[in-house]
Chain A
Amino acid sequence: MVNILGISAYYHDSAAALVVDGEIVAAAQEERFTRRKHDPEFPARAVEYCLREGGLRPEDLDYVGFYDKPLLKFDRLLETYLAYGPSGFQSFLKSMPVWLRRKLYARRELDRGLKRKFPKRYIFTEHHESHAASAFFPSPFEEAAILTLDGVGEWATASHGTGRGNRIQLTHELRFPHSLGLLYSAFTYFCGFRVNSGEYKLMGLAPYGEPRYVEFILEKMIDLKPDGSFRMDMSYFNYCQGLTMTSRRFDEAFGGPRRKPESPLTQREMDLAASIQKVTEEIMMRCAVHLHRVTGMKNLCLAGGVALNCVGNGRILREGPFENIWIQPAAGDAGGALGVALFIWHQLLDQPRSVERLDHQRGSLLGPRFSDDDIQSFLERVGARYRRFDKEEELCAYVAKQIASEKVVGWCQGRMEFGPRALGSRSILGDARSESMQRTMNVKIKFRESFRPFAPSVLQERVDEFFQVRQQESSPYMLLTSPVKDRRQGPSRALLQASQGIRSHHRLPRDHQHQLQRARRADRVPSGGGVPLLPGDRHGRARARGLRPPQGGPARIGPPQGRGVPRPVQAGLTMAILEINKRPSRRDLVVFGVGLLAIAGIMGAGLYFRRGAHDAARIVCIAGAAITALYFAIPPLRRFIYLGFVYVTFPIGFVVSHVILAAVFYLVVTPIGLLIRLFGNDPMRRRFDRAAASYWVEHDPHRDRARYFRQS
C-alpha cells in the first residue's frame, strides 16, 4: 500500500489530501476546521483528519508532496523588486519577514507540521503542474487538453498542455505579471471587495451592469492575442510594487477612486463587473479555441482559481469547440494538495490510471462526516431543541414542508465537500418559488449583499424544463451556468436571473446518491406539481448556533465551550518583522535566564579587559549574577523579568530591523535593479509587442524526476 499526502499551504486556502494506492481517500480545506476563511496556515487539522480517515500515522506515509516550489516563487518576488526598485519598499517590508522566517524554510515547516515523524524527502511540484494534475487525473477522460488559469504560481499565471493515460505534459505558459486571475482581482479590489474571496461577488454583480468598459479594457489595458494570450499595461496596476491592486491611472480611467468596502454599490461597479466578466469570458474562450486547435482533442480539463468562474466555464461548454469539459471542483489552491498527491502516484511513480464514466472525484465528498449519534450527543450537550427522524422519508417530508412554508433549512449530511461549493452536504436550503427567498437568505441568514446569487439543484431528468442545456449535459459540482428558459410558473424568475443564468447542479447517478436525494426533496415541495429545483448555498457565515455545521472531528463538534460561536474571519499570511512572545514556554524562560547571565559576563569582561574599568566590571557581573539568581530562584518572577526586558528592548529592535530592511532595499535591491535595467533586461516583459502573434512561452519540461525533490 502506498500512502501519499498532498499539502497546500502558506498563501491561501491551505488544504491536505490523502491518496492511497491511487484512490482519493480524503481531502479537506483547513478553513473548514478553523473557521478562518481562506486559512493559509499549515493545514494541521486537515492533515490530522486525512490521516484519521486513512487510519494512518505520519510515519506510515510513503510520500508527502507540497503543491509548489517556494524558491521559484522567491525568485519571482526578488526579480519583481529588482524590476520596480526604488518603488516597492512597503511591499518589500511586508513580504520579507514572512519569507525569511517561514516560507523559505518549507521543509522545516512541513517537518514541524508533521511533528517530525516523516523521515523521507519532500516532493515539490510546480504550482500549475499541481493544478493540471488535479484537473486531469480525476477526470473521466483517457486523454484531454488541460488549461490552468490562475492568479500566479511561481512565474506562470496560466498554462496549457495535454494529459494522456497516466501522464500530463504542460507545454506553454503565460508569465507574471500578466495574469487573468490578477486582472479579475484588480477589478474586484477596485469595486470594493476583498481580493482572493470577493471575486465571487464581482461575478454575481455582473448581470446587473452593462459591459460598457469592454472596449477600453481590450484596447488600453491589455493586448489580447487571438490565441488568448495577453499582456497587461502595468501602469494601470500596482500589485507588483505596492500594497494595492490598482494604480492612480486606473482610478482616472474609471472616474475616481475605488469604492470603499461596505459602501453602497453604484452603477459604475455593476458596469465594471459586467465588463471584466465579459473580457474574462473572451480570454477563456480564445484560450479554449487555441488549445483545441493545437491539440485536436475533444475533451478539456480546467483548474486554477479562474476555473471557478462558472459563467465563463458555461460559455466554453456551450460555445467552445470541446465536446466535454471537466473542472476540478477544488479548482483554487486547495485543489493543489490533491493535484500533487495524484501527480506523485501517476507521474512520478508511473502507476496506471483507470478512467471512470463519471470521474474519480467521488462527488468531491471527501471531508469528515458525523454519525447520527455524534450529532445527537452534540445537540444534547448544547441543550438544543431537536427531533430525531429514524426514517429518511419522514425527514424529507418534514423538510419539504418547511421549505414550502418559506423557511430556510440548514442541511448537514454525509461527508463534507472538498472545494468551495456546497453540494448538498453542508448547505442552506430555501424555496425556489419564493420571490423574496434570495433576499431573505442573503440578508438574514448569510449576512451578505442581497444581490449574491444562489446555486439551484435540479433533477437531471427535469433540468431542461428550466435551463437551456445540451442533451445529457450535467453539472455535478456547480461549476457551470446555463441560460434560464422563459417560464411563467415555477421557480422565481427573479431568483434565477439573479443567479445569473444559473449555476446548475443537476446530476443523477448512483455515485451521487445524496445529491439526488437533495434534488428529490425539492420535488416534494408542494407546488401544484412540484418544482424540482432547490436554491442553496454553503454555510459560509452562518453564525447562529443552530446553523453552525458540525466541523472538525467528533471531539470538536459544535462551538468551543464557553466562548460562543466564533465569527468566521478572513485570513492572510503576514508577519510583523518582530513579534513579542507574550507566552514564553518554560524552555524559553530557561534560555533567557542563561542568556542573561552570559550577557552580564560578556559585558563585565568587556569593561574589565578593554576599558580597564575593573570596579564597573565587578558591579555588572555581580548585578547580572544577582538578577539571574533571583530569576531562577523565584519562578513566578521569571515571566515578568523576561517580558520587562522584551518590552524595554522591543522599540530598539523595531527601529533597527526597519533600518536594516530599508538599507537592504535601497542600497542593494535598487542599485542592482537599476543596473539590470540599464542593460535592457526586463524579466517582467512589460512592453506590448503588437507584432507578436502570441505571448504564450514554452514551458520548460522537467524530465529529471530528482528535480521534484528540490524547491526550485
Chain B
Amino acid sequence: MMDLRELYQDIILDHSRHPRNARAIAQPSHFAHGHNPLCGDRVTIYLALEGDRIADVSFEGRGCAISTASASLMTEILKGKSIAEAETLFRSFHAKVTGGEAPAAPESLEDDLDRLEPLTGVKAFPVRVKCATLPWHALEAALKSGALGATVKTE
C-alpha cells in the first residue's frame, strides 16, 4: 500500500482547508478558467500584471484537496515573479509531477520549487497528477490569453 500521507502531507491538507488567495481580482489583466472534465473540478486564475511583474494573483473554484492546495501554493509563490520566472516554475513543476525532464532553474527559484515539493506525492498516484497541474495549466492559459480570458481542459 502506498502511503497516503505522501499524497496528503500536512502542508497540502492545510492549504486545502485554508486556501490562500482564494478570491477574485476585480479587473484582472489576465485570467483563465481551468476545467478537469473527469472530476468536474473548476478553477479560475486571475492575474494583475504590472509591466513584467505579477503584482497580484488569485484563484476561485471548486476542487479536490490536491487541486485546491496546488492553486493556493501556486498563488503564494507567484506573487512578485516575472512572467519568465512563472513560466520556468510551471515547466519545472510540471516535470517534477509527471516525471519529465526538468529545465535548469535558476538558483533564485530553488526555494519556491522546494515549497512545491509536497505536491510531488501525486507521482505515485497517476490519476491525480492532473489535479495538481490544473491550476498551472490555467495560469499558462491566462498568461497567453490576457484580459480576454480562456478555458483550458485537462484530458
- B is bound to A: no
